[in-house]
A and B are shown apart, each in its own frame.
Chain A
Amino acid sequence: MYEKILLAADGSENSLRASVEAIKIASMNSECKVDIIYVADFAKSKNEILHTQGKEALDFSRRQKLIPIQELLQAKNIPYTTNILRGEPGPTIIRYANEHAFELVVIGSRGLNALQEMVLGSVSHKVVKRVNCPVLIVK
């Protein structure tokens, strides 16, 4: 089974569901490592700086979002690492996944309708199209 899984998460409900699936797959192989990444979105940077007092508080609030996911992994004794990346979510996840030769990418889907998808753009669709390994999208 897979030994190197990338879990792209933003702390949302969808990403929690994706984590549960990632754990199911990872538990099948005791050698499997999960790399959790969170993308600090360029488009939200101004807003987050304005609404957080200082750099440390902002860094903390980002790490905090991943705590529930880390707890899930810890509970199942799955080795993991956490990374906070910066950029536009789609392209950043794709670049990271392709550079580090993952065997599987797991990502949640926000479940946008056609209009929202046109305006907001679907991160998971972009990832599926351009990542060079299998992608599991979790609804």
Chain B
Amino acid sequence: MLEKIKKEWFSNVRADILAGAVVALALIPEAIAFSIIAGVDPMVGLYASFLIAVTIAFVGGRPGMISAATGAMALLMVPLVKEYGLDYLLAATVLTGVIQILFGVFKIAKLMKFIPRAVMIGFVNALAILVFLAQVPHILGESTVTYIFVAITLVIVYVLPRFVKSIPAPLIAIIALTAVTLYAGIDMKVVGDLGGITKSLPEFFIPNIPFTFETLAIIFPYSIALAIVGLLESLLTASIVDDMTGTDSNKNKEAKGQGIANIITGFFGGMAGCAMIGQSVINVKSGGRGRLSTLVAGLLLMFLIIVLGDLVVQIPMPVLVGIMIMVCIGTFDWSSFSYLRKAPRSDAIVMLTTVIIVVATHDLSKGVIAGVILSTIFFVAKIAKIRVIEKQGDDFIHFVIEGQLFFASVEEFIDAFNYTVENRNIIIDFTESHVWDDSAVGAIDKVVLKYRERQNIVTIEGLDSSSEKMVEKLAIYKKTNTISN
């Protein structure tokens, strides 16, 4: 136990602190931008990022992963905030945490492996598109200077890292362009215009909502969606960090940890969050491996806001928008275009459907659910293909069955036979098949009885042991083994 604590916290101290500092700086613009997307004060996202990162550092299941306020979660909250306000969002955040803990306790996190790749690819693409669309109103219809600032920001964040590696380029863009705006007195929308920064630590309070069934009915659908999306992105991120570090993580502990973090953030005025792919990759790349990196990221973020809050409100919106465009480009899976061409048609359709439903409904959870259902249907359709191969012998007809016999394939199975023969020996061979359920046995019965009607002798062979058991137990033809009529 002590050994584990030592390894997870103190085996990589120097690099963890440095990486945590890099992440803290990268988190600030995102926390602000995601608050703006959700329609709440920047402080709601900043407090969330501080509280979630710090909590997860202790209770998360994947050391070195960064969790905070995220775009995926912010997008889900928009209608709730618009209609009911911040207090309902905080209550929904707490409830999200409770649901996630239940997911962790009942090991539902394990079910995530049933979510097909196509759906996950659709998920990240839809997320990137939605976050990008949320930036558009801040660009279009604003001044010409806005366009120029967005462009300059993009140039800085993409070109500068080729030459300057030690300082994160988005930070340079923010400092340089904020300084330019202040000195030149350029009139531009700044972060402060969209909400204030409070230079104090978050405080505990119970969301001001009526504790009624009606309230629960309002927040519950949001909390479920937040819980699912939060876990989905967290577990995807955990897999990426697992792969980058070549180590394993505890997925159910992570689910519970996300839940605890959301409950705490909800009671301290922060919005629901989850793990962040981009930030976690930055952390690992910068050398972060242990829990200390996540803790440092959260603590330093809060410290910077308390010390530099006055400057943060001066950040021009176009710079923030430019950085968010970079985040979208980084989130989008650009190999999707070749995936669409190369992957099986059904996978491509699932991926596109997921994206389209998310973009149409602005709800990531709906896209994921639709994608999972659609791919299940495709899977059943694919596996329900059954072939009956007919071989004529001298005094018998041999039918070889290839494929799975179950409720979805019985109709095709029954129709595949030619029932006009009379007085023949018929062998139906199940070596290449498996009998799955009642309807499969029913179908075999139907075929056998139909042949017997015309004085044929039917032999069933090649059943594997579990198919055999099922046929023994359920088949009628076994009980009326003489030729009827």
Contact = CB atoms under 8 A, between A and B. Distances in A.
Nearest to B238: A49
Contacts of A49: 236, 239-240, 243
Interface stretch (A51-59, A105-113, A122-130): A51-59
A118 B161 CA distance: 11
A40 interface: yes
B378 interface: no
A40 B242 CA distance: 12
Contacts of A88: 285
B361 interface: no
A116 B116 CA distance: 35
Interface string B205-238: 0000000000000000000000000000000100
Interface in B244-269: 244-246
B374 interface: no
Contacts of B117: 50-53
B113 interface: yes
B162 A45 contact: no
Contact of B243 (A51, A55, A118, A119): A55
A88 B286 CA distance: 11
Contacts of A50: 117, 120-121, 124, 236, 333
Contacts of A81: none
B282 to A, nearest CB: 10
A51 B244 contact: no
B280 to A, nearest CB: 10
Contact of A86 (B121, B236, B246, B281): B246
A48 interface: yes
A46 interface: yes
Interface in B112-150: 113, 116-117, 120-121, 124
The B contact surface, by secondary structure, is helix
B335 interface: yes
B113 A42 contact: no
Contacts of A118: 162
Contact of A48 (B116, B162, B243, B281): B243
Interface in A5-53: 40, 42, 45-53
Nearest to B278: A46
A46 B280 CA distance: 11
B121 A51 contact: yes
B339 interface: yes
Contacts of A51: 117, 121, 335, 339
A45 B243 contact: yes
Contacts of A54: 113
B277 interface: yes
A16 B124 CA distance: 35
A81 B277 CA distance: 33
A86 B339 contact: no
Nearest to A58: B243
B120 A42 contact: no
Given A51-B335, A54-B113, A42 B242 contact: no
B277 A46 contact: yes
B284 interface: yes
Contacts of B335: 47, 51
A42 B240 CA distance: 9
Contacts of B121: 50-51
Nearest to A47: B335
Nearest to B284: A42
B121, B242, B243 — most chain A CB neighbours (10 Å): B243
A6 B236 CA distance: 34
B240 A86 contact: no
Nearest to A121: B162
A86 B246 CA distance: 7
B333 A45 contact: no
Interface in B76-111: none
A127 to B, nearest CB: 18
Nearest to A85: B246
Contacts of A46: 240, 277, 281, 333
Residue of A45, A53, A55, A119 with highest tally of chain B CB at under 10 A: A45
Contact of B245 (A53, A58, A86, A119): A86
A53 B114 CA distance: 10
Contacts of A55: 239, 242-243
B160 to A, nearest CB: 13
Contacts of B120: 50
A46 B285 CA distance: 13
Given A55-B239, A88-B285, A42 B244 contact: yes
User: Which of A49, A51, A119 lies at the interface centre, i.e. has the most chain B CB atoms within 10 A of its CB?
Assistant: A49
Return the 9 tightest CB-CB contacts between A and B, nearest first.
A45-B244, A49-B240, A45-B243, A49-B239, A86-B246, A50-B121, A46-B240, A45-B240, A42-B285
14 contacts: A40-B244, A42-B281, A42-B284, A46-B240, A48-B243, A49-B240, A50-B333, A51-B121, A54-B113, A55-B242, A55-B243, A86-B244, A86-B245, A88-B285
Given A49-B239, A49-B243, 11 more contacts: A45-B243, A45-B244, A46-B240, A46-B281, A46-B333, A47-B333, A48-B243, A50-B333, A53-B116, A55-B239, A58-B243
Interface of B: 113, 116-117, 120-121, 124, 162, 236, 239-240, 242-246, 277, 281, 284-285, 333, 335, 339
Interface of A: 40, 42, 45-55, 58, 86, 88, 118-119
